[in-house]
Amino acid sequence: MELFLKSLTLPGLTIPGNLLLAPLAGYSDAAFRSICTQWGSNLCYTEMVSAQGIIRNNAKTLELLRRADNETLFAVQIFASDPQSAASAVRMLGVHRPDLFDLNCGCSVPKVLKSGCGAALLREPERIRTILRAMGGETDRPITVKLRSGWDQNSINFLQTAEAAQRGGAAMLCLHPRTRTQGFSGQAQMSHLKTLKSYSAVPVIGSGDLFTPEATRSMFRASGCDGVMFARGALGNPFIFRATWELLSGKRQSPPPTPKERLETALQQLRLTVTFKGEQRGCKDMRKHFCYYSKGIPGAAELRAQAVRAESVEDYQNLVERFL
């Protein structure tokens, strides 16, 4: 039998498995991470956190650092454009006791790029090295990096950025094998992931187009990567962690969650979100998640149309009860 499931060993840290949740801006808050952990994610990254926001003690930034009760490991992703701010942020984050840090080198949001952060760093591999080196000088926790294949099709340089990251002390690399200009269009290039794995001296995590357990198995087979990181494929579908574990471990596969199970899980996440953010804001933030949870359920279009106007936990509960 093919063996894909394993623990990930980093300096001073062992991650018990290799099915991870990606940092998802606007989505991977403490409530969603808690649900994904419950369904089998071995490690969940926070939403990307601004180094400048940490330094300025920005309340909205610090809110992203809330930790779920069932998170035995806590991974914080930051975005920064220079070594000084990255180092200061890591030093200040010590009070939150992260188990590892991640440097975002893949975000293609214009506002992030304009500040010289995220995927903008792909054009300057040496800056990635110096930022990581500065971060490492402020913590004994491992530091990981999330990369893309390159800025555009004319600058595919993931081997150069990965090499710079390792010289900077990166303990693990995650590659989303698309360019910055691709965003999420086209197909993830498994050949890039396979090439990186063959050259890398540290564990390599693959991301991109992982919407089913079968797609995850295909990524493992095609690239030989050490683990996978679910992103869009986990939205409204935290069940993908259990389903993937069952497929890859050769266990009898559980039936797909019923509409009732999916919507009840959405309500569970809603209640957690309200615990962290209060009812008014929590219900508003949950609207997008609820639309993902109900996607694909026959006859749920009207449910989604009403959910985007829900303003209380009772509103959501009544919607689900009526639908079911």
Catalytic residue numbers?
A: 107
The token pair that represents 239 in the structure block: 């069940």
Q: Which residues contact 41 (CB under 8 A, 6 or more apart)?
A: 19, 20, 21, 33, 230, 234, 238, 241
Q: Output phi, psi for 164, to 5 deg.
A: -65, -40
The token pair that represents 105 in the structure block: 């080198």
Helix pair 313-323, 259-277: axis angle to 10 deg: 180
Which residue from 89, 155, 85, 88 is spatially nearest to 124, judged by alpha carbons? 155
**How far from the centroid of its chain's Cα atoms is residue 176's Cα?**
11
Burial class (CB in 10 A: 0-12, 13-18, 19+), 301: exposed
Q: Output phi, psi for 321, to 5 deg.
A: -60, -45
Computed from CA positions of residues 302, 307, 312, 317, in that sequence, does the dihedral angle turn out positive or negative? Answer: positive
Strand 13-15 vs strand 8-10: parallel, antiparallel, or unpaired? antiparallel
Rounded distance between C-alpha atoms, residue 225 and residue 261, angstroms: 32
Rounded distance between C-alpha atoms, residue 209 and residue 206, angstroms: 10
Please count the other Cβ atoms lying within 10 Å of the Cβ belonging to residue 269: 24
Q: Which residue type does 66 have?
A: R
Rounded distance between C-alpha atoms, residue 235 and residue 269, angstroms: 12
Q: Which residues contact 232 (CB under 8 A, 6 or more apart)?
A: 24, 184, 211
